[in-house]
Amino acid sequence: MPSHSSSSSLSRRVLWPTVTVTLVVISWAASSVRATPVQTTSQAELYLSQFGYLSAKFRNPTSGNLLDKDSWEKAIMDFQSFAGLNVSGELDPETMELMSLPRCGVRDKVGFGTDSRSKRYALQGSRWKVKALTYRISK
């Protein structure tokens, strides 16, 4: 019967390559995700409605819903503020570049423009202030 230390060392030799390969595959898959570049006002409007800065009725810009200038500027200002950009309220190249980056599909602003009941516990516009993460692996 093998001792506990030899079985532990064997499991480590098998576990580490598996973990390494898994992390490499995950990072490759994450880096291969392509975002749709935002180059027009219509694409920016779609982006802002998809991620909660505009009402859901603007998800299809061809539907004929009119958007007033104040709502448009407020949506851009909210996005710029959330993204840490210079808040100008104008769709500048820096804002469009950030909109073109790959991201997850979760809305930044929860509950805006929905007919469902809003969740009281949802923090809207909250940001994680920590930019450098520290971690440790324990048994």
pTM: 0.54
Average pLDDT over residues 24-53: 75
Any idea of the CA torsion for 104, 86, 128, 45, to the nearest 10 degrees? -30
Nearest to 94 by CA among 38, 136, 53: 38
C-alpha dihedral (77, 79, 83, 89), degrees to nearest 10 = -30
pLDDT in tens, 64-108: 567 788 888 999 999 999 989 999 999 999 999 999 988 887 888
> What pLDDT sits at residue 33?
46
pLDDT at residue 139, as a whole number: 80
Average pLDDT of the chain, as a whole number: 75
- Does residue 123 register a pLDDT over 70? no
Check residues 138 and 4 and name the one with the higher pLDDT. Answer: 138
